[in-house]
């Protein structure tokens, strides 16, 4: 009877004694490949990559920060509104300021609270007349997503004789930083993401921005904080405790989360820039225009699970 030939996968191994390979005796002096039979089904299972998850967001991107490899993309280069994820750039510009003193005091102006009321914007609940440090403003901007805190920072770190001029120059610094990072599909027209059609980015660009921002130790410490209490100096010379909770749901629901920032709005829908680390692997990603706050968290979890399995 003729022997039937079987498809096989060769696995090379160093052998010290006699080896039986495909029914043939091999002399002890030889180091020969060991041949074993693998079924097509087993071979397919071994070689198949993890199935890409389905996400509700219009724009999505996931990358391995260590290798720079793209792990997932959906509309990754589509320009979309960014919502409060814009504040990542606001923080980056502040932290790059020459002669930065994180403990310098900023007096809260009525214009900041008026801006919140006029635009129905998210707030750190800063009180007019209070003296707040730059460090505290960063927490107030990045945790509860305070647009009043973002306004205060833009006013302090912009240049010009009037508040409008200072804010305009600060936004100019944001765009200049975007260009220096090679973010070709990103433009800002506000310090908090509340601008019009001129405030946009992509899932890929925001992920690159996040990787750059997280190189700063102060930024990393702020965005990974779940909640904090900050004591501020009041106008009368007393003290007030401000309690802030991070709007990033992954900090409480996904093990290994490092931070970054949520965003939302009528045009932006629900956005999330995120980062997580497990087993020595660090992943960064962005979701833009997700369908709900619940779905953006689920989408992020699916993407991270997918990335860590690869």
Reported as a single tens digit per residue, the pLDDT across 298-310 is: 999 999 999 999 8
Burial class (CB in 10 A: 0-12, 13-18, 19+), 211: middle
The 3-state DSSP class for residue 68 equals coil
- Both tokens of 173, joined, read 């610094």
CA-wise closest residue to 68 among 212, 255, 256? 212
- Both tokens of 185, joined, read 């599909």
Give the range among 50-54, 191-195, 281-285 with minimum mean pLDDT.
Answer: 50-54
pLDDT above 70 covers what percent of the chain? 84
Q: Is 87 tagged catalytic?
A: yes
Res 224 pLDDT > 80 = yes
Q: Is 84 tagged catalytic?
A: yes
Residue ranges of the alpha helices (H) in the chain? 40-47, 87-95, 110-119, 134-142, 147-157, 163-180, 203-213, 217-223, 250-253, 293-309
| DSSP 8-state class, residue 279 | T
Tell me how far CA of residue 127 lies from CA of 80, 111, 160, 168, 305, in angstroms: 33, 11, 25, 24, 42
CATH number of this structure's domain 59-309: 3.40.710.10
In the chain, where does the domain assigned CATH 3.40.710.10 lie?
A: 59-309
More confident position, 186 or 11: 186
Res 294 pLDDT > 90 = yes
pLDDT recorded at residue 237: 85
Average pLDDT over residues 127-153: 97
Res 17 pLDDT > 50 = no
Average pLDDT over residues 141-149: 97
Q: Is 264 tagged catalytic?
A: no
> Residue 236 — very low, low, confident or very high, per pLDDT cuts 50/70/90?
confident
287 near 264, Cβ under 8 Å? no
Cα-based torsion angle of the residue sequence 215, 221, 227, 231 in order, rounded to the nearest 10 degrees: -130
pTM over 0.75: yes
Res 132 pLDDT > 80 = yes
287 near 271, Cβ under 8 Å? yes
- Out of 84, 190, 264, 290, pick the active-site residue: 84
- Out of 122, 123, 145, 290, pick the active-site residue: 145
Q: In this predicted model, what pLDDT tens digit does every residue of 89-98 receive, in sequence order?
A: 999 999 999 9
> Residue 41 — very low, low, confident or very high, per pLDDT cuts 50/70/90?
low
pLDDT recorded at residue 234: 87
Q: How far, in Å, CA of 192 to CA of 239, rounded?
A: 27
Which residues, at least 6 apart from 79, have a Cβ–Cβ distance to it below 8 Å? 185, 200, 201, 202
The count of residues in the chain is 310
Res 23 pLDDT > 70 = no
**Taking all residues of the chain, what is their mean pLDDT, rounded to a whole number?**
87
């Amino acid at each position: 009877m003729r022997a039937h030939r079987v498809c096989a996968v060769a696995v090379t191994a160093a052998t010290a004694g006699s080896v039986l390979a495909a029914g043939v005796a091999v002399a002890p002096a030889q180091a020969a490949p060991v041949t074993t039979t693998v079924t097509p089904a087993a071979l397919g299972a071994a070689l198949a990559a993890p199935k890409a998850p389905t996400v509700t967001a219009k724009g999505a991107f996931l990358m391995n920060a260590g290798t720079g490899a793209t792990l997932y993309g959906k509309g990754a280069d589509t320009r979309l509104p960014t919502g409060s994820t814009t504040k990542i750039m606001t923080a980056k510009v502040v932290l790059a300021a020459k002669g930065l003193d994180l403990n310098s005091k900023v007096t809260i102006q009525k214009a900041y609270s008026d801006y919140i009321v006029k635009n129905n914007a998210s707030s750190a609940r800063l009180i007019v007349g209070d003296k707040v440090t730059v460090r505290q403003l960063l927490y107030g901007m990045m945790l509860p997503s305070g647009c009043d805190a973002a306004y205060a920072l833009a006013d302090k770190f912009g240049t010009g004789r009037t508040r409008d001029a200072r804010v305009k120059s600060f936004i100019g610094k944001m765009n200049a930083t975007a260009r220096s990072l090679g973010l070709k599909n990103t433009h800002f027209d506000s310090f908090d993401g509340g601008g019009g059609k001129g405030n946009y980015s992509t899932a890929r660009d925001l992920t690159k921005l996040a990787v750059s921002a997280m190189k700063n130790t102060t930024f990393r410490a702020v965005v990974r904080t779940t909640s904090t209490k900050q004591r501020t100096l009041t106008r009368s010379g007393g003290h007030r405790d401000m309690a802030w909770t991070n709007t990033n749901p992954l900090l409480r629901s996904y093990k290994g989360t490092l931070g970054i920032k949520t965003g939302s709005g009528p045009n932006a829908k629900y956005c999330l820039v995120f980062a997580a680390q497990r087993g020595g692997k660090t992943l960064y990603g962005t979701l833009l225009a997700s369908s709900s706050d619940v779905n953006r968290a689920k989408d992020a979890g699916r993407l991270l699970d997918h990335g860590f399995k690869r």
